[in-house]
């Protein structure tokens, strides 16, 4: 069904373009040239409907019977990637239909000003005994051809925006898996190129390759079922219009490529868990023992600071946390050091990953905290995972906690559930141990404000997921957000919580296998007293909640099987086909 929906969408777009201007997409139409049938050929650059360099053949067949394409060649080289259309609608099974307007889109890595000869061999008639040959020669335009022949292959990423939001410098995280002999060193070789859908202009964009893995099965012969494979994660920044799509190409296969040199002002200093990260928007210092966010220094012409530095370890970001008395209350910010700790430094982003149990809950708990600091965004990505590994009676399991010295902030604002913005002076609410404010668990965003320093710190929610490994219902008890203040002020989301309640001696049994995951972002921002709004927080929530859709389109390697390779199943079955 997904394939049909995508085909219908492409067909509508193509029909509209042809009705408006007479051709499916930008490109230069070459003079007609054919042995048997008039065929118009044009060269096209990658666009969302066909995200690869291609040749478009336009023609009209006579007769009553369709033709089955047997082979397509360009300059004598066989091409296996092509699509057929009839009257602007996709035709499956690579069939050419008679009458009306026929089109064939052939993937071909053309070069500017090059002459390309196309040959299509097909068979028609009830017995397939009526041959058809479409032949044409076409001169490529003087622009828009293959980005750089030194890179032999590429994969296409079609990024689609579905939430009606203009995306600028949007972080994209995706992955590729390619035959191992196609790439030698992905970190050195890969280049990401954006393609303008109107002009065909191509521009290299900063990218980052990480988590490179090579797989080769021992004792298994390479063939249709298996080929040695290299996989890697790929990250870059994209611009996509609201409700639109853009194509980005990831080139690889250049063993002589030099390492890319991108500089977007993202720097790292220090060592161990306590590194410091700078970009044009902020400086973040991590705690030297735990690696938790310890201090955020705002740039952007403001110079405000956010920190805690009052009690326990003094970190700004504490959670996840675990409290099952008589054992003490412990947080991820209490790690000294984290059981597992990795740092990834690249031109697009810096990330830290910390995981493991927190003592003394070494058997009961597992936590994981990931931070990502981007070169082109003013916000900080956080993800936290809390897993209960052994049955426990808990008084508090929490997430999403931000703690500040109260002298740094004086107001609190939030996205009102009924629309608009709610706000309050922090000390207008009851003092600790009572909650100053209680808000829904799925609150889109909240923020602390410092009017004297004209800055704010936003907490923006992304994904929330709770589940149990055995398939049962996850344990949730009193889930909400709350604000408290004393000498400090903090904002938090309980998962299981009786501590700050009328009957706080209760302990809630939580079985092993309960898992709690969340994604959020911290956004330090300047505060304009003359035009105070929180649009940036609302927009960030929508972006985190509606990431770009990423579709990968790759070429067919010559070693790929000609037909469908059935999976290894316990019992054979016949694939069902839709009726025509």
Q: In the chain, where are the structural domains located?
A: 2-139, 153-261, 319-526
pLDDT digits (tens, 9 = 90+) for 326-376: 999 999 999 999 999 999 999 999 999 999 999 999 999 999 999 999 999
- The pLDDT assigned to 30 comes to 37
How many CB atoms lie under 10 A from the CB of residue 105? 23
The beta strand positions in 395-454, using DSSP E, are 396-405, 411-415, 421-425, 437-439, 445-450
- The pLDDT assigned to 127 comes to 78
pLDDT digits (tens, 9 = 90+) for 215-235: 998 888 888 888 999 999 999
Q: What does the CA dihedral 446, 447, 448, 452 come to, rounded to 10 degrees?
A: -140
**What is the CB-side half-sphere exposure of residue 226 using CA atoms within 13 A?**
10
Structure tokens at 408: 């740094």
Looking at residue 474, the DSSP 8-state letter turns out to be P
pLDDT digits (tens, 9 = 90+) for 7-39: 444 444 444 433 333 333 333 333 333 345 789
SS (H, E, C) 47-112: ECCECCCEEEEEECCCCCCCEEEEEEEECCEECCCEEEEECCEEEHHHEECCCCCEEEEEECCCCC
**287: pLDDT strictly greater than 60:** yes
Question: Which helix (H) or strand (E) covers residue 10, if one does?
Answer: helix 2-21
CATH 2.70.98 is held by the domain 319-526: yes
272: left (phi over 0), alpha (psi -120 to 50) or beta: left
CA distance 135 to 161: 39
Rounded to a whole number of angstroms, the CA Rg of the chain reads: 29
Greatest CA span in the chain, whole angstroms?
Answer: 89
What are the residues whose beta carbons fall under 8 Å from the beta carbon of 44, sequence distance 6 or more?
Answer: 24, 25, 26, 27, 50, 53, 54, 55, 56, 105
- The pLDDT assigned to 22 comes to 35
153-261 and 319-526: identical CATH topology? no
CA distance 70 to 91: 15
Pairing of strands 130-139, 245-252: unpaired
CA distance 448 to 491: 9
Pairing of strands 481-485, 488-497: antiparallel
Q: Between 126 and 398, whose confidence is greater? A: 398
**74: pLDDT strictly greater than 80:** yes
**2: pLDDT strictly greater than 80:** no
CA distance 461 to 196: 33
- The pLDDT assigned to 569 comes to 80
Structure tokens at 473: 């219902």
Q: What percent of the chain has pLDDT over 90?
A: 80
Structure tokens at 427: 């000390």
Q: What average pLDDT does the chain have?
A: 91
Structure tokens at 281: 């928007």
Contact 239, 171 (CB under 8 A): no
CA distance 57 to 68: 16
Structure tokens at 79: 């091409």
Contact 271, 352 (CB under 8 A): no
CA distance 404 to 570: 58
CATH code reported for the domain at 153-261: 2.60.40
- CATH topology assigned to domain 2-139: Immunoglobulin-like (2.60.40)
Burial class (CB in 10 A: 0-12, 13-18, 19+), 572: exposed
**6: pLDDT strictly greater than 60:** no
């Amino acid at each position: 069904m997904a394939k049909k929906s995508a085909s219908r969408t492409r067909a509508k777009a193509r029909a509209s373009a042809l009705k408006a201007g007479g051709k499916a997409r930008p490109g230069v139409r070459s003079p007609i040239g054919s042995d048997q049938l008039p065929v118009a050929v044009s060269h096209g650059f990658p666009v969302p409907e066909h995200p690869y360099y291609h040749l478009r053949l336009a023609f009209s067949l006579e007769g009553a019977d369709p033709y089955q394409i047997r082979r397509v060649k360009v300059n004598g080289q066989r091409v296996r990637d092509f699509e057929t259309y009839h009257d602007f609608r996709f035709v499956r099974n690579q069939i050419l239909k008679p009458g009306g307007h026929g089109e064939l889109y052939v993937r071909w890595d053309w070069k500017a000003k090059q002459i390309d000869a196309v040959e299509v061999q097909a068979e028609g008639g009830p017995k397939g005994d009526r041959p058809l040959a479409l032949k044409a020669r076409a001169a490529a335009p003087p622009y828009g051809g293959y980005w750089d022949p030194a890179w032999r292959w590429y994969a296409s990423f079609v990024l689609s925006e579905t939430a009606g939001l203009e995306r600028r410098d949007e972080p994209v995280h995706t992955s590729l898996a390619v035959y191992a002999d196609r790439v030698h060193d992905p970190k050195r070789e890969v280049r990401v190129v954006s393609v303008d859908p109107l002009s065909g202009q191509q521009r290299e964009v900063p990218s980052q390759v990480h988590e490179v893995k090579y797989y080769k099965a021992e004792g298994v012969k390479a063939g249709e079922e298996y080929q040695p494979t290299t996989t890697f994660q790929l990250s870059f920044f994209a611009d996509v219009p609201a409700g639109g799509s853009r194509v980005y190409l990831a080139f690889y296969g250049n063993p002589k490529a030099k390492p890319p040199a991108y500089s977007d002002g993202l720097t790292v200093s220090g060592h161990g868990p306590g590194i410091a990260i700078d970009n044009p928007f902020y400086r973040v210092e991590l705690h030297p023992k735990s690696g938790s966010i310890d201090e955020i220094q705002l740039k952007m012409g403001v110079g405000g600071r956010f920190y805690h530095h009052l009690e326990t370890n003094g970190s700004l970001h504490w959670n996840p946390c675990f409290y099952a008395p008589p054992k003490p209350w412990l947080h991820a910010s209490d790690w000294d050091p984290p059981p597992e700790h990795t740092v990834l430094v690249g031109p697009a982003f810096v990330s830290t990953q910390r995981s493991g149990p927190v003592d003394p809950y070494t058997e009961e708990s597992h936590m994981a905290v990931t931070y990502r600091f981007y070169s082109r965004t003013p916000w900080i990505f956080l993800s936290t995972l809390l897993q209960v590994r052994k049955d426990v009676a808990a008084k508090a399991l929490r997430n999403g906690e931000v703690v500040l010295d109260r002298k740094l902030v004086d107001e609190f604002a939030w996205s009102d559930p009924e629309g608009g913005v709610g706000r309050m002076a922090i000390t207008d609410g009851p003092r600790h141990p009572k909650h100053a404010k209680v808000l829904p668990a799925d609150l889109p965003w909240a923020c602390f404000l410092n009017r004297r320093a004209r800055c704010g710190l936003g907490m923006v929610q992304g994904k929330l997921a709770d589940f149990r490994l055995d398939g049962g219902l996850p344990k949730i008890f009193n889930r909400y957000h709350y604000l408290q203040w004393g000498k400090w002020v903090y904002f938090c989301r309980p998962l299981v919580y009786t501590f700050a309640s009328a009957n706080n001696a209760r302990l809630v049994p939580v079985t092993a296998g309960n898992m709690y995951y969340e994604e959020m972002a911290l956004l330090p921002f300047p505060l304009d007293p003359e035009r105070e709004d929180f649009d940036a927080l609302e927009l960030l929530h929508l972006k985190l909640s509606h990431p770009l859709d990423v579709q990968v389109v790759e070429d067919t390697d010559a070693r790929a099987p000609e037909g469908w390779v059935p999976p290894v199943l316990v019992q054979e079955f016949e694939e069902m086909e839709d009726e025509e």
